Amino acid sequence: MITATRKVRICAGHRVCGHESKCANLHGHDYAFEVTAVVASGTYGGRKLDELGRVVDFSVLKDRVGGWLDREWDHRFLLWEDDRQADLGDEEAAFGVVRVPFNPTAENIATHVGEVICPDVLAGTGVDVVRVVVHETPNCFATWEHR
């Protein structure tokens, strides 16, 4: 299988609701997302690459996936919609809080990007995302893979 991977970086905060240690506190990361795409089934008449020999131009992944991450999550604070301990009420939007439908662990973020965000923003491009790696630090990351 031939893949194309684009790395995208954002800065965002979160807290892991129910965490047994300091990650239960509000904190932030310089996140790095690695998004890996393959040619969708049936695209390019069954060939694995386009007429130029690519899965997809890297700028498509940057503009579509990176653009979404930049607009929606960069310099924002991700909080689980069920986390009422960190409830800022009507002030949440003013503080850049984004309520997400999952506890914002690296694993859940990778899953959400791979299963929800990428299919939406890459619709019509002829590629499918098969892997998303979310780096919270240079040493800690989680990987979602399409099965």
First to last CA, the chain: 14
| 43 or 128, higher pLDDT | 128
The type of residue at 95 is F
**Does the annotation count 20 as an active-site position?**
no
Domain edges within the chain: 4-145
Among 112, 118, 135, 136, which one carries the catalytic annotation? Answer: 136
Whole-angstrom distance, CA of residue 10 vs CA of residue 12:
6
Among 75, 81, 145, 146, which one carries the catalytic annotation? Answer: 75
Whether 106 contacts 132, CB under 8 Å: no
Q: Is the pTM of this model over 0.75?
A: yes
**Does the annotation count 75 as an active-site position?**
yes
Among 17, 23, 29, 72, which one carries the catalytic annotation? Answer: 23
**Does the annotation count 112 as an active-site position?**
no
Instruction: Take residue 65 and report the two structure tokens written for it.
Output: 């996936």
pLDDT in tens, 104-147: 999 999 999 999 999 999 999 999 999 999 999 999 999 999 98
Domain 4-145 homologous superfamily, CATH = 6-pyruvoyl tetrahydropterin synthase/QueD (3.30.479.10)
The C-alpha angle 10, 13, 19, rounded to 5 degrees, equals 130
